[in-house]
Chain A
Amino acid sequence: MSHWIIAPIVLPALMAPFIVLFLRHDVGLQRVFSLAATLAVGAIALGLTAAAAGGAMEVYELGNWPAPFGIVLVLDRLSALMVLLTAVLAIGVLLHVIGTGWDRRGRHFHALFQFQLMGLFGAMLTGDLFNLFVFFEVLLIASYGLMIHGGGTYRLRAGVQYVVFNLAGSTLFLFALGTLYGVTGTLNMADMALRVGELPAGDTALLRVGAVLLLMVFAVKAALVPVQFWLPGTYANAPAPVAALFAIMTKVGAYAILRVYTLIFTPDLAATGSLAGDWLMPAAIVTVIVGMVGILGARELARLVSFSAIGSMGTLLVAIALFTPEGTAAALYYMIHSTFAAAALFLIVDLVDARRGATGGRLVDAQPMAQGGLVAAFFFAAAIAMAGLPPLSGFLGKLLVLDAARGAAQVWTVWAVILATSLLAVVGFARAGSTLFWKPHALPAEEPAPQAAPATTLPFVATGGVLAIMALMTVFAGPLTGYLQATAAQLHTPANYIDVVIDPEAVADAGGGAHGAEDHDGAEPETGDHHEGE
């Protein structure tokens, strides 16, 4: 049992209070330590991904309690991939924040950033549903702080909205967990996967209620229609680099859907059947449409990018809703791509905002901005990626999704919607780009634009780096899809996951039955008093 699995959680968890307690007056030192910790987590994530790439899963039992009783962390290909994706994104965002000085506009940015990373990594590694709830709360609490970083009336009001929405979501999460615990008597994902198959027929109605409630909770995180309302207001009003980091938060919802509905409520399970896919597919299709139409309707850049993030979540969830190995592999490729595409766009929003003075990101005529050529080139590349035009990874991602949908019943709807909305996205981005970058040059120059260009190169390095990753994803699409297909295959054989997590002896000792009074006829659970006893 390697202790490295817990390192991505422990390292930010220690770094954040360290920054608050000892470095709170020195932004320079905060930057050094925060960046060093994030880079270290990135290195650990690389190591974990290399360890998981072979296909072996590793289980970390917290406090050495065996699986159904204690909390476990599980490292498989998917969780390793998610941790690596988050770490890479965090490094890019952090460089941008340091370069633009966003961390000076409020207090405790770096501490909140580290707590945010801790929650994200925890949610991706845990193998326990209640622990997933706790890590969701950790990442949400940190995100509340980051969302209102820098203050301002409208950011605060949008923050209240965001917090209230997510508190309601958390309550729903608890209702779902309570229902599932009441039916199955466990919260360990692998153990629950075993028990849902053995439920008496009378209890399956309650199980279906729990499954759908849980799907709704994850849909709130993933900004799926009809619970996407929180996203545009939040992302458009949050500091743009924070919104870039939030690009991974919607993916955590998608990750949780993938994990729970390929492990516990699989399409093979008689009690739920294709329930999840049946609900998810239409919602995802409508999400694609809403997102892409929103791009056309947006009147400011941050809102436009927010809607494109919703649209890309829709495309991603269409692929997930297929619940086939091909669909999952396509979804994973598109997930990596859309994370970086949305993050790059939000970083560009910040570059634009900083260069247009009072006009900010509004899509109206204004004087040309400083360094407009480079920003325009970045916007062009990121917009191409997000809309799904060749040569960047968005094209390959959408191609994989379309290809995976070929066998599905709704193939023509999926193809028509994705292709038509891609056109909408192209139109929307082209209109925004020409308003921002071309029209200013056609206007009569009133006076020499006085904006002093923010003189640092670091934000350009960060944005360029994120774009370069998408170029690399295109060049190395072969090896990458190979890894993703292996990941999907691993996900769709949940028996392996269950075998690794659950030790059959421990379960047998506990009587193996549902919880409650009925089943414990004399068989005393031996595992409860473990080691420490006498």
Chain B
Amino acid sequence: MELLVASAIGVMTAAGIYLMLRLRTFPVVVGLALLSNAVNVFLIATGRLAVNQPPVLRDHAASGTYTDPLPQALVLTAIVIAFGMTALVVILALGAFLSSETDRIDTTDTDSAAREEGQS
């Protein structure tokens, strides 16, 4: 179990970072999604891996076997935020692609100068 979770987090993080470095919007968005999934699994793991245990303190505290409920609440928040942000970045990237006809993330100095001309 530990090996599976740890390697899943590791592989997803590595793949996410690799894709983010591609500088094209589609791989970057996929990379971000992978990265946020990796961090969500990581957050779950911070409550220690207790399989098939109830996430309640009250009746199970004595026996010492329960899942920490707090990370689950944290993950829920993180999922909502990451999902909304992914949607936003897709729309934004689409808008940028349609108006500039390039899907590169990086901008250069000449772009900046051209910006001024574009505004006039």
What are the interface flags for A171-193 relative to B under an 8 Å C-beta threshold, 1 for contact and 0 otherwise?
10011011101100001000000
A159 CB contacts on chain B under 8 angstroms: 92, 96
A161 located at the interface, meaning its Cβ lies under 8 Å from any Cβ of chain B in the complex: yes
Hey, which chain B residues are within 8 Å of A361, CB to CB? 116
B2 in contact (CB, < 8 A) = no
Interface residue? B112 (CB, 8 A): yes
Least CB distance from A506 to B in Å reads 15
* Contact status A160-B58, CB under 8 Å: no
Say if the beta carbon of B77 comes within 8 Å of chain A. Answer: yes
Q: Report B116 CB to chain A, min CB distance, Å.
A: 4
Closest chain B residue to A162, Cβ basis = B92
Whether A532 is near chain B, meaning CB under 8 Å from some CB there, is no
Closest B residue by C-beta to A236: B112
Query: Which residues on A sit within 8 Å (CB–CB) of B43?
Result: 174, 177-178
Q: Which B residues lie within 8 Å of A187 (CB)?
A: 70
Tell me the residues in window 490-519 of chain A with beta carbons closer than 8 Å to chain B beta carbons: 515-518
Whether a CB of chain B sits under 8 angstroms from the CB of A57 is no
A446 at the B interface (CB under 8 A): no
> Is A16 positioned at the interface, with any CB of B under 8 Å from its CB?
no
Please indicate the chain A residues that have their CB under 8 angstroms from the CB of B118 in the complex.
152-154
CB within 8 Å for A175 and B42 given contacts A163-B88, A164-B89, A517-B64: yes
Main secondary structure of the interface of A (DSSP, over half): helix
Docked complex Cα distance between A179 and B42 (Å): 9
Chain A residues within an 8 Å CB radius of B39: 171, 174-175, 178
**Closest residue of chain A to B85, judged by CB?**
A167
Of the listed stretches A83-91, A434-442, A522-530, chain B binds A522-530
Using known A-B contacts A154-B107, A161-B105, determine if residue A299 contacts B99 with beta carbons closer than 8 Å.
no
Query: Do residues A181 and B71 form an inter-chain contact, with CB atoms below 8 A?
Result: yes
Q: A156, A524, A525: which has the most chain B beta carbons within 10 Å? A: A156
Number of A-B contacts (CB under 8 A): 151
Choose one: B50, B105, B111, B120; the contact of A164 (CB below 8 Å): B105
CB distance from A231 to the nearest CB of B (A): 13
Residues of B within 8 A of A160 (CB): 25, 89, 92-93, 96, 105
With contacts A168-B32, A170-B81 known, is A156 near B96, CB below 8 A?
yes
Asked if A130 and B115 sit within 8 Å, CB to CB, the answer is no
Chain A residues near B92 (CB, 8 Å)? Answer: 144, 148, 156, 159-160, 163
Of the stretches A194-202, A352-360, A392-400, A425-433, the one at the interface is: A352-360
Which residues from chain B contact A156 at a C-beta distance below 8 Å?
A: 92, 95-96, 99-100
Interface status of B113 (Cβ within 8 A of chain A): yes
- Cβ contacts under 8 Å, B100 to chain A: 153-154, 156-157
* B114 CB within 8 Å of chain A: yes
- A167/B115 contact (C-beta < 8 A), A158-B107, A178-B43 known: no
Can you list 19 A-B pairs, Cβ within 8 angstroms, ordered by A? Answer: A148-B92, A158-B107, A160-B25, A163-B92, A164-B32, A170-B85, A171-B32, A171-B38, A171-B39, A174-B78, A175-B42, A177-B74, A181-B74, A182-B46, A236-B112, A361-B116, A516-B68, A518-B64, A525-B57
Which residue numbers of A lie inside 8 Å of B, CB to CB? 130, 134, 137, 141, 144, 148, 152-161, 163-164, 167-168, 170-171, 174-175, 177-179, 181-182, 187, 233, 236-237, 299-300, 303, 357-362, 515-518, 520-525, 528-529
On B, residues with C-beta under 8 Å from A are 20, 25, 28, 32, 35-36, 38-39, 42-43, 45-48, 50, 57-58, 61-62, 64-66, 68, 70-71, 74, 77-78, 81-82, 84-85, 88-89, 92-93, 95-96, 99-100, 105-107, 109, 111-120
